[in-house]
Amino acid sequence: MSGFDYNIALTIFYLFYIAIEIPSNLTLKRVGSMWLAGLVTSFGVVSIGTAFVKSYTGLIVTRVFLGLAEGGTLSGLTYILSRYYRRSELVLRIGIFFGVSPTLAGAFGGLLASGILSLPDIGMVKSWRKIFLVEGIITTGFGLLCFLIIPADPQHTRMLNEEERSLALARIDADQVVRTRGHKERTSVKLVLRSFSLSTTICAICYLMVNISFQGLSLFMPTVVATLGHYTVVESQLRTVPPYVSGAVWAIIFAYYSYRKKQRAVPIILSGLLMIAGYGIAVGSKNSHARYAACFLMITGGSLTGPLYLAWGTDNAAPDTVRAATTAIIPGIGTFGSVIAVWTYLPADAPNYHNGNSLNLATSSTACMLTFLCFLFLRWENRKRDRGERDYRLEGISSEEVEQLGYLHPNFRFQT
């Protein structure tokens, strides 16, 4: 490849990733967890196919199918979790699985790739092709296992007996303003459109802004490490591990803090301030060690902001159709941040990446301000409901319409 070929291939992947998010989650709501297991398996199969790509056209085709397979995975996992955990509990689970897994992948993915490259050639599969083949086989195997281990919703899963099923449904019902005993309302365009609430929209926009950072860091940090000294590939990979480990530790600690204190905006803003400090250093200094320290701040702050925006939006989404769409909207719109990063962290701007880092300094600051404004709005709305100023919404409507009010119900209180 040459010129912008790589950027174009990444952009095509992200466009299909974004397009499939909402349809995939609505299908998951109707079909069940088998759909999610199928996505993971397809992810692995496409990775295996990438090992045998021999042309740019072939690469583009695999990027399309990878986007379709990967697009619904994160949102689907979040939706499955929301079927089992109460609103106050969800943030800890999302914070751990979504806050820790990308940081661990960033820390050890390169080392795993280096190890695979050291293996003997597998027939015609040589060099980088071995990475896609081996990791694709692992993913496909795990995807097939998912058909057995990912639970269906509490009403139908075979993993629970009748007593456990009743308890699971009672726990979720106790967290809802209208008790449904696990009943899912009919999917409608009206409910899907209602998913674009103010809080969901702000979370999605902020997710987009911080997502530029994580995609850009995959380009920025290797250039920083390269300026620290002359290292072998493995030695360079080892120096990318500590920032990601610090991000994983931060994600666990503050996901727990958010869970215990029932706060979302405060840990998001604290994490955002770390990102602002990191990008401020990256823009203002060309010292290699200072920029390496900045990577710690960027990754540590960015590791939790995405998961918390997703958890916050899901907390404030109801009924079930709105929740299914919301868990797709936030990462779906947020993925546009990856597209932006692809075209702001360009090779011509290396090694300083001044344009990309300046953009991230601005977006991190804007995300913090929008988070604070969203916090104020939700507090204001909760107070209006406490005073009974939204009770009129219950007048003259049927029980089915009351059930579908979801977050508009006067008794619903937003998580702040």
CATH number, residue 385 = 1.20.1250.20
Are 365 and 276 within 8 A, CB to CB? yes
Q: What is the per-residue pLDDT for 352?
A: 80
State how far the Cα of 386 lies from the Cα of 32, in Å rounded to an integer. 37
Q: How many domains does the chain have?
A: 1
Residue 281 lies in a domain: yes
Q: What is the per-residue pLDDT for 116?
A: 85
Structure tokens at 133: 């083949």
Mean of the per-residue pLDDT values of the chain: 89
Residue 321 lies in a domain: yes
Residue 413 lies in a domain: no
Structure tokens at 370: 């929008």
**Residue with token string 């990191």:** 278
Residue 416 lies in a domain: no
* Torsion on CA atoms 54, 220, 298, 340, rounded to nearest 10: -60
The band of 391, judged by pLDDT with boundaries at 50, 70 and 90, is very high
Q: Domain of 139? A: 5-177+186-408
The band of 99, judged by pLDDT with boundaries at 50, 70 and 90, is confident
- Asked whether residue 218 carries a pLDDT value surpassing 90, the answer given is no
Range list of β-strands (E), 66-149: none
Residue 415 lies in a domain: no
- Asked whether residue 220 carries a pLDDT value surpassing 90, the answer given is no
- Asked whether residue 339 carries a pLDDT value surpassing 90, the answer given is no
Q: What is the mean pLDDT of residues 239-247?
A: 88
Residue 138 lies in a domain: yes
Q: What is the per-residue pLDDT for 122?
A: 84
Residue 389 lies in a domain: yes
Q: What is the per-residue pLDDT for 267?
A: 96
Q: What is the per-residue pLDDT for 270?
A: 96
Nearest to 30 by CA among 320, 313, 314: 320
Nearest to 309 by CA among 249, 246, 383, 375: 375
Residue 155 lies in a domain: yes
